[in-house]
Amino acid sequence: MTPTDRLLPVNEAIDRLEAQIRESRQRGEFTDPLIVGIHTGGVWVADALHRALGCTEPLGRLNITFYRDDFHTLGLHPQVSPSDLSVDVDGRDIILVDDVLFTGRTVRAAMNELFDYGRPRCIALAVLYQRDGRELPICADWAGQEVALGPDEQIHVDGPEPITARLVSSKES
Amino acid sequence: MAVNFVRPKIPKFAPDPWAIQFDEQGHLRHLLTIEGLGPQWITRILDTAEGFVSVTDREIKKVPLLRGRTVVNLFFESSTRTRTTFELAAKRLSADVLNLNLATSATKKGESLLDTLRNIEAMQADMFVVRHEQSGAAHFIARHVAPHVSVLNAGDGWHSHPTQALLDAFTIRRHKGDFTPLRVAIVGDIRHSRVARSQMHVLNSLNVGELRVIAPRTLIPTDVEKLGVRVFHDMREGLRDVDVIIMLRLQRERMESGLLPSEEEFYRLYGLTEEKLAWAKDDAIVMHPGPANRGVEIESSVADGPQSVILEQVSNGIGVRMAVMSLCMSANRGENA
Q: Do B334 and A79 touch (CB under 8 A)?
A: no
Mean pLDDT of A78-86: 79
In chain B, residues with a C-beta closer than 8 Å to the C-beta of A81 are 50-51
DSSP per-residue codes, B162-230: HHHHHHHHHHHHHHH--STT-EEEEES--TT-HHHHHHHHHHHHTT-SEEEEE--GGGS-TTGGGGS-E
Give the three-class secondary structure for B240: coil
Q: What pLDDT sits at residue B336?
A: 34
Q: What pLDDT sits at residue B246?
A: 98
Q: What pLDDT sits at residue B56?
A: 78
Cβ–Cβ contact B94 with A under 8 A: no
Q: Do A80 and B336 touch (CB under 8 A)?
A: no
Q: Do B334 and A63 touch (CB under 8 A)?
A: no
| Structure confidence by residue, pLDDT tens digits, A92-141 | 999 999 999 999 999 999 999 999 999 999 999 999 999 999 999 999 99
Mean pLDDT of A64-69: 88
User: Alpha-carbon dihedral of residues A95, A97, A103, A108, nearest 10 degrees?
Assistant: -50
Nearest Cβ partner of A76 from B48, B54, B55? B48
Cβ–Cβ contact B64 with A under 8 A: yes
Q: What pLDDT sits at residue B37?
A: 93
Candidates A80, A111, A114: best to mutate against B (most CBs of B within 10 A) is: A80
Cβ–Cβ contact B89 with A under 8 A: no
Closest CA to B128 of B148, B108, B106: B148
Q: How many helices (H) and strands (E) does chain B have?
A: 12, 9
pLDDT tens sequence for chain B (337 residues): 444 555 444 444 444 567 899 988 888 999 999 998 999 999 999 999 998 998 877 878 899 999 999 999 999 888 888 999 999 999 999 999 999 877 666 566 667 788 888 888 888 899 999 999 888 899 999 999 999 999 999 999 888 999 999 999 999 999 999 999 999 999 999 998 999 999 999 999 999 999 999 999 999 988 899 889 999 999 999 999 999 999 998 876 655 555 666 788 889 999 999 999 999 999 999 999 988 889 989 999 999 999 999 999 999 999 999 999 999 998 555 433 3
Cβ–Cβ contact B65 with A under 8 A: yes
- Name the strand (E) or helix (H) holding A152: none
| Distance from the A142 Cα atom to the nearest Cα atom in chain B, whole angstroms | 29
Residue A56's Cα: distance from chain center in Å? 20
| Residue B148 C-beta-side C-alpha neighbours within 13 Å | 10
ipTM of the complex: 0.78
Those residues of chain A whose CB sits closer than 8 Å to some CB in chain B are: 63, 65-67, 71-76, 78-84, 112-113, 116-118
Nearest Cβ partner of B65 from A71, A73, A83? A71
Q: What pLDDT sits at residue B108?
A: 61
State the average pLDDT for chain A: 90
Alpha helices (H) along A27-104: 41-52, 71-74
Provide the pairing of β-strand A153-158 with A164-169.
antiparallel
Is-contact B284 B244, C-beta < 8 A? yes
- Name the strand (E) or helix (H) holding A59: none
Q: What pLDDT sits at residue B259?
A: 63
**Phi, psi (degrees; rounded to nearest 5) at B209:** -60, -55
Q: In what order do the strands lie in the sheet with B70-75?
A: B96-101, B70-75, B127-132, B150-156
Closest CA to B123 of B100, B92, B104: B100
> How many Cβ contacts (< 8 angstroms) between chains A and B?
70
Is-contact A93 A32, C-beta < 8 A? yes
Q: Do B60 and A116 touch (CB under 8 A)?
A: yes
pLDDT category of residue A3 using cuts at 50, 70 and 90: very low
